[in-house]
Amino acid sequence: MLLIKLLIKISFVTLISRILGFIRDIMILRIFGVNWMLDAFLVAFKLPNLFRKIFSDGIISQIFIPILTKYKNSNDIINIHNFISYVFGLFIILLLVVTLITIFFMPKIITIIAPGFVKNDYIFSLTIKLSRIIFPYIILILFITFTSTILNVWGYKIISSTTSIFFNISIIIFTPLLSSLFNLSIFGLAWSVIIGGIIQLCYQFIFLKKINMLIIPRFNFNYIKLFNLFHNTSAFIIINFIGQIINIINTMFASFFMTGSLSWIYYADRIVELPSGLLITSLNTILLPILSYSFITNDISSYIKQLNWGIKLCFIFVIPSSVALVILSYPIVITLFQYNDFSRYGIYMIQKLLIIYSIGLIGLVLTKLLTISFYSCNNTKVLVKISIIIVILTQIMNVLFVHIFSNLGLSISNTISYYIQAILLYLYLLKNRLLLFHYSIISFLFKIIVSVLVMSFVLIKLLSLMPNWDSISIFYRLIRILLLAMLGAIVYFFTLWITRLKIKEIFYFYYNF
């Protein structure tokens, strides 16, 4: 199969989801503004997302793809059905227990993750109430991720990528409708999250039934594979938990800053997620199954080729995206957020945060990509060690940079930590011959850098010729941004063609799986 073809399809679906996500966020900003209510919601929404990244992404996306790939290759339908049924049953029990305990201890949990809220009883109380509504979403998230994994392994990669579209649409539709039913409209947003999760799950059930994988959950704790699963799962939970410690501590720090700090960080991060999410989501969906298959079949030569393909693809798309976001940071921010009572200082802070996150974009994407390779061969010990090193280094940098740069310091330390982590992962893969360095990569990167410099010159020149962005409507700002992005992309790829970069070899990369 032609990998770039599949990548484009998944990226297109992800792009639609991201655009809807921006529409969702802008709608939320228009309805609620940047204030203590939105900060309370973002903390409440962060909690299930933290659990998702610790439990859902780690256990399901990374562990089950290699296991299900092996089962699929064996073509043993009875064992496949038993495995899925018992895992579903196990998840139901574990998630109900975790959810009930978390809801009960929610005041203590909020005190830990947002200690700055404790000094204001009203914000603290609202955050607890919103968290208790939203947290059960973790149950839906986990089942959505597991069903997406099954669909992914059985070849329904596009379907598994479209579920977030339904979530964003449901938020856009139900938030205005439900908000009018509550004294505090923010509760309508919280309940629309739950409705969105239910719609996502029901959508995937249709396709599970189509491939005969819509299995009734059963409970069998004597099932030997569940014990093996627990053993594998514990290591992945530790890895993901260590990785999320940075997010938890950043939230703790940000809760002490002025009102709006959490919102500024959230919106800057959302902008950077557009290019990073497109590539990370697509590569994770494509590469993890094929890398797992190559490792299981001991085809290390194919494994290296596939991983090299992913790295080169990252460089081609992420380096220009990173530079373009820095150059266009101000136009992007005022286009998306300059309306109603959004302050000039808020615009300024989001722009600064966006620049910092954009500089770290290359390190972020490389880290995520290289981590996929470790998951594909179940190498958890090294990931744990590297994750611990990164957490320690990040907190040392936090103490230093927050003192100097205030809330911008959190983003600076995150950016530096991504590059350190990417370098450590890369060096380990090189040492263990799961990745090979070739001097042609220097020429490859040089041509990309030259093309990016030409693109940057054109973008900066065009920006200098354009009149003040503040004096035109949002519609014309959007038109300008799109035109600049298109012209920048054309100049970049045209320069790549002039430098004779062999893009065709990357775009026409095939795999048999």
The span from the first CA to the last CA of the chain, in angstroms, equals 8
Q: What are phi and psi of 298, to 5 degrees?
A: 60, 30
Residue 379: pLDDT over 80? no
340, pLDDT greater than 60:
no
Is 80 exceeded by the pLDDT of residue 449? yes
Say which residue, 81 or 366, is predicted with more confidence: 366
- % the chain with pLDDT above 70: 86
Higher pLDDT, 193 or 342: 193
CB 293 within 8 A of CB 513: yes
Q: Which pLDDT score, from 0 to 100, does residue 491 have? A: 95
Does residue 105 contact residue 132 with C-beta atoms inside 8 Å? Answer: no
What confidence score (pLDDT) does residue 100 get?
Answer: 92
What is the sign of the dihedral through the CA atoms of 366, 367, 372 and 373? positive
Q: E strands within 137-239?
A: none
How many CB atoms within 10 Å of residue 151?
A: 22
The neighbouring-strand residues paired with 2 are: 510
pLDDT, position 50: 75
Eight-state DSSP code of residue 54: I
Is the model's pLDDT at 228 over the cut of 70?
A: no
DSSP class of residue 221 equals T
Q: From residue 437, how far is each of 305, 364, 428, 442 by CA, in Å? A: 11, 20, 12, 10
Q: Which candidate, 83, 72, 197, 80, places its Cα nearest to that of 143?
A: 197
Query: What is the reported pLDDT for 458?
Result: 94
Q: Is the pLDDT of residue 57 over 60?
A: no
Closest by CA position to 86, among listed 201, 189, 215: 215
Q: Considering only CA atoms, which of 66, 434, 76 is closest in space to residue 232?
A: 66
Q: What is the SS3 assignment for 333?
A: helix
Contacts of residue 326, defined as CB under 8 A and 6 or more positions apart, other chains included, come to 355, 358, 359
Domain boundaries in the chain?
35-240
Could you tell me how many residues make up the chain? Answer: 513
Question: Is the per-residue pLDDT at 510 higher than 60?
Answer: no
Say if residue 341's pLDDT is above 70: no
Name which of 257, 148, 274 is nearest 265 in CA terms. 257
Whole-number Cα distances in Å, 112 to 108, 126, 209, 255, 264: 6, 16, 42, 11, 21
**pLDDT computed for residue 507 by the predictor:** 60
Of 105 and 402, the structure prediction assigns the larger pLDDT to: 105
> What is the reported pLDDT for 454?
96
The pLDDT score that the predictor gives to residue 291 is 81
Neighbours of 260 (CB within 10 A): 22
Pairwise CA distance, residues 57 & 55, whole Å: 6
Confidence class for position 229, pLDDT limits 50, 70, 90? low
**pLDDT at res. 472:** 76
Phi, psi of 2 (to 5 degrees): -80, 115
Which of 94-103, 122-131, 421-430, 436-445 is predicted with the least confidence, judged by mean pLDDT? 436-445
Q: What pLDDT is attached to residue 59?
A: 58
Mean of the per-residue pLDDT values of the chain: 81
Q: How does residue 258 score in pLDDT terms, banded at 50, 70 and 90?
A: low
Residue 270: which of 12, 7, 17, 10 has the closest Cα? 17
pLDDT tens, 103-134? 999 999 898 888 878 888 888 899 999 999 99
Query: What is the tens place of the pLDDT at every residue in 137-183?
Result: 988 888 888 888 888 778 777 776 688 888 889 899 999 889 888 88
Q: What is the DSSP letter of 218?
A: -
How far apart are alpha carbons 280 and 273 in whole angstroms? 9
Q: Are 511 and 306 in contact (CB under 8 A)?
A: yes
* Angle (nearest 5°) at CA 285 between 308 and 193: 140
CA angle 266, 122, 168 (to 5 degrees): 35
Share of the chain above pLDDT 90, in %: 21
pLDDT (0 to 100) of residue 447: 92
pLDDT of the residue at 18? 79
Question: Given this model, what pLDDT does residue 509 score?
Answer: 52
